Every structure is written in structure tokens, then in C-alpha cells.
């Protein structure tokens, strides 16, 4: 038993408290930890199997005595279909989840109250996730729609402007602010690192996660010192304004931008976003210090989705790396199962979206359909405990990829990245781009 406690603490301490809101970092450590783990090491089960989840409640790394826990069991992000409570006499116990008859995920959330605070742990069992199929349909004119959009976009000259930022340059790379046209009166802004070593270099486009914010050199990506890196924003605003500007936009003019004009496939907000990311690849390919035959795209969450769209829309992309992609299988909740961020149709507040215009629009923007059209090698990193981009939705997209693909599963992570995940991403990109 002591050995079990030690192993569980070592493996799952970082999983003690994970919020439902997307975050760029791992959750902070807390005095009370609620550790939940399945009885299969890979967290996977056959349909019909009965998982048993082990629960460990620790305070200051010591098992809590006679502590009451509450638990909820749900199918991924769906409402809990079972709730209960129990007392852990020596800080540990077991919960039987039941099973699933079809491929999917069962999640167990466990709550402990202590000194007026509530602490949560969770774990998620996968039931043959490699067999999960999407709910979204592929429209017959998907290619035609996007080829027409690309043709219209191509009429706008890129007119890229690179502005050297001497204060950000290092011995290994120079740094430039970048902007280029994305429409008659629309620009995309970003920041670029360029190796100081002369010659043509491979390039990586980093597309952004959701939010409205500033952007700077991402050191973990810029550490690819032999690679040109371009990090872009998507909202047509400069990337280096005062912070309150972005806050005002986030909660004001750009609040819920993912729903802007969603009833019209030709005016939906993401149309200019998808096309702008594709144009960023053209900017890279046109630079004299970039080898246009060695360009990759990467990103997480919304950026994971944009990685798929960009690889489809611009054939200059040769490799695709995505963390926990969003915008996948958006119609899931209409079929009584979890869907990806931004969780359309999840609550009654989205009842106004249940119309034919929205249903048609989503077919052209859902990442599942871009995954179906993927032409390049793909690697996807994800976690089973992600409640922002739920695993059901991510597997719906990943399972549709027809090309060479790799899956990096870190079962216990939520919507965040471990440092070693960035290291593995960089290693994969370097191997592909060499």
C-alpha cells in the first residue's frame, strides 16, 4: 500500500486541481490533492468493461483520515448521470464507474471540502476511442467553397512588412514584428524569429489559441535556433499594444467572436481567420531566407484547429503538429454526446443557434472535415482529462486523418501543456524539417 501511495503521488500530483477554463500552464500545486486514477495503466478499456477508479485524498502529502468525498460520473463533458459520496477512512478508496457500450469516455470527478475550500480531482476512462466517429457531415461542395474563398483572397496582395526589433534580438536569431494584408482593410500581425546564420532555413508557423491578447517571442519555439518561426494573432490588431486594450476588446467588441455571423458560411468570423493563417504561410514561403519546401504549422486548442485548416488551405505546409485541437465535431451535443470548444448547443443559451443556417455553416468550418482532407504527416498531443477540448471531439477529428499520423497521449493532463510536451514537439518538428 505504501508503494501504491508513492507511485500515485509521483504520477498524479499535478492533477490535483484542474479548472474548466483553458490555460497555458499546468495547474498550481495546492495543500490538498485529490488524485483519481483508473485501474488500467493506459486508461483504456474495451466497450463493456467495468473500470474501477482509485481515489487518494492527501493533505500536505499525507492521506486524509475519515474524509468525506463527493463524486460525479459522466460521459465526457455531458451532465453527470451518477452522483454519490463516501468516507475515506485512510484517505483512499475505490469508485466503480459502470461501463460504455459504444466508443467514448467516462469521467469521474471527485470533490473534497477542507477549511472552506473545495478541491477537485478527475480521471477519464477511454472506451475504444480509436473507433469514435464524428457527427458532423461533409458537404459535397467543401473543396469548391474553400477554393473559391482562396481565389478571392489571392486577389489581395500580401504586402508584408518586417520591422526589426533590436531589443529582442539574440546571438542566435533576429526578431521582427510582421504585418501583412488579409483583406482590403484588414491585416494580420505577428512576430518572427530569423536565425542569424545565413542561408535558407525551414520555417514553423505558430497559430494562436483562443483569446484576445498580446504576442511576443515564444522562447520554447524560438529555441529551434535553426528554424524561422512566425507567431501570429488573428483579430487584425497589432500584437504589442497596452494590455488593457486587449482586455477591453476581449470583454467588449470581440466577446464571443467565435459566434460572429455564424448563421452565414460566407460571413462567419472564422472565414477571414482561416484564410489569414493560410496567407501567413505564403508570407513565409516568399521570404528569401525561408526554404519554401520545409514549412510546418503548429498550435494548441484553437491553434490546433487552425493547424488543420492551414495545412489544408495551403499546400506549402508539409507537416502539422497540434495540441488538443478545438472546433472539432461541433454538432456533438445535438447527438447527446460531447462536442469540442466553443461548446455550441451545450446549454439553453445557445438555443438560438439551432437553425439551418448555423447547421450549414458549421460543416465548412468543423475541424473534422479538414482532418478528412489532410495531405501531410500529422502529430496530435492530447489528454483524457481535457474538459475544454474534450477527448471525444478530438478523437472524432484525429480518427479521420487519412495520412501518416502519430498520437501523443498524456492521459492525466487537462487543457495545458507540460514542458516536456514542447520539447517533444520541437524534436518532432526538427526531425521532419531537417
Q: Which of 76, 329, 386, 422 is catalytic?
A: 386
- Residue 102 C-alpha cell reads as 459504444
Whether residue 40 lies in the annotated active site: no
- Is 244 among the residues known to form the active site? no
* 301, 307, 393, 396: the active-site residue: 301
Catalytic residue among 201, 235, 343, 415: 415
Q: What is the 3-state secondary structure (H, E, C) of the chain?
A: CHHHHHHHHHHHHHHCCCCCCCCCCCCCCCCEEEEEEECCCCCEECCCCCCEEEEEEEECCEECCCEEEEEEEEECCCCCCEEEEEEECCCEEEEECCCCCCCEEEEEEEEEEECCEEEEEEEEEEECHHHCCCCCCCCCCHHHHHHHHHHHHHCCCCCCEEEECHHHCCCCEEEEEEEEEEECCEEEEEEEEEECCCCCEEEEEECCCCCCCCCCCCHHHHCCCCCEEEEECCCCCCCCCCHHHHHHHHCCCCCCHHHCCCCCCCCCHHHHHHHHHHHHHHHHHCCCCEEEEEEEEEEECHHHHHHHHHHHHCCCCCEEEEECCCCCCCCHHHHCCCCCCCCCCCCHHHHHHCCHHHHHHHHHHCHHHHHHCCCCCEEEEECCCCCCCCHHHHHHHHCCCCCCEEEEECCCCCCCCCHHHHHHHHHHHHHHHC
Q: Is 201 a catalytic residue?
A: no
Catalytic residues: 301, 386, 415
Amino acid at each position: 500500500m505504501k508503494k501504491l501511495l508513492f507511485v500515485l503521488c509521483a504520477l498524479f500530483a499535478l492533477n490535483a486541481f484542474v479548472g474548466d477554463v483553458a490555460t497555458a500552464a499546468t495547474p498550481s500545486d495546492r495543500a490538498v490533492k485529490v488524485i483519481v486514477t483508473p485501474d488500467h495503466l493506459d486508461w483504456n478499456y474495451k466497450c463493456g468493461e467495468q473500470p474501477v477508479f482509485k481515489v487518494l485524498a492527501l493533505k500536505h502529502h499525507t492521506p486524509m483520515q475519515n474524509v468525506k468525498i463527493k463524486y460525479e460520473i459522466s460521459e465526457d463533458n455531458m451532465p453527470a448521470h451518477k452522483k454519490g459520496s463516501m468516507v475515506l477512512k485512510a484517505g483512499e478508496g475505490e469508485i466503480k464507474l459502470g461501463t460504455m457500450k459504444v466508443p467514448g469516455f467516462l469521467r469521474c470527478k471527485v470533490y473534497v471540502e477542507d477549511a472552506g475550500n473545495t478541491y477537485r480531482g478527475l480521471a477519464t476512462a477511454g472506451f475504444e476511442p480509436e473507433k469514435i466517429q464524428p457527427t458532423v457531415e461533409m458537404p459535397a461542395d467543401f473543396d469548391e467553397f474553400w477554393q473559391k474563398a482562396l481565389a478571392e483572397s489571392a486577389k489581395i496582395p500580401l504586402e508584408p512588412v518586417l520591422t526589426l526589433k533590436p531589443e529582442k534580438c539574440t546571438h542566435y536569431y533576429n526578431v521582427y514584428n510582421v504585418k501583412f494584408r488579409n483583406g482590403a482593410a484588414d491585416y494580420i500581425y505577428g512576430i518572427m524569429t530569423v536565425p542569424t546564420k545565413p542561408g535558407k532555413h525551414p520555417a514553423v508557423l505558430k497559430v494562436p489559441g483562443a483569446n484576445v491578447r498580446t504576442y511576443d517571442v515564444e522562447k520554447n519555439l524560438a529555441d529551434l535556433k535553426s528554424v524561422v518561426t512566425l507567431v501570429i494573432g488573428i483579430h487584425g490588431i497589432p500584437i504589442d499594444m497596452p494590455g488593457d486594450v486587449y482586455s477591453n476588446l476581449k470583454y467588449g467588441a470581440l466577446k464571443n467572436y467565435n459566434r460572429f455571423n455564424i448563421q452565414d458560411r460566407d460571413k462567419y468570423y472564422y472565414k477571414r481567420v482561416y484564410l489569414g493563417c493560410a496567407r501567413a504561410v505564403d508570407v513565409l514561403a516568399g521570404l528569401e531566407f525561408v526554404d519554401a519546401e520545409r514549412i510546418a504549422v503548429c498550435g494548441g486548442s484553437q491553434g490546433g484547429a487552425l493547424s488543420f485548416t492551414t495545412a489544408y488551405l495551403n499546400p506549402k505546409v508539409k507537416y502539422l503538429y497540434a495540441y488538443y485541437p478545438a472546433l472539432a465535431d461541433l454538432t456533438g451535443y445535438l447527438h447527446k454526446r460531447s462536442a469540442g470548444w466553443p461548446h455550441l448547443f451545450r446549454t439553453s443559451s445557445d438555443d438560438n443557434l439551432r437553425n439551418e443556417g448555423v447547421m450549414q455553416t458549421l460543416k465548412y468550418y468543423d475541424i473534422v472535415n479538414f482532418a478528412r482532407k489532410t495531405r501531410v504527416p500529422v502529430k496530435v498531443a492530447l489528454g483524457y482529462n481535457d474538459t475544454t477540448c474534450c477527448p471525444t471531439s478530438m478523437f472524432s477529428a484525429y480518427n479521420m486523418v487519412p495520412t501518416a499520423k502519430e498520437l501523443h497521449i498524456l492521459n492525466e493532463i487537462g487543457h495545458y501543456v507540460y514542458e516536456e510536451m514542447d520539447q517533444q514537439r520541437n524534436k518532432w518538428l526538427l526531425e521532419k524539417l531537417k
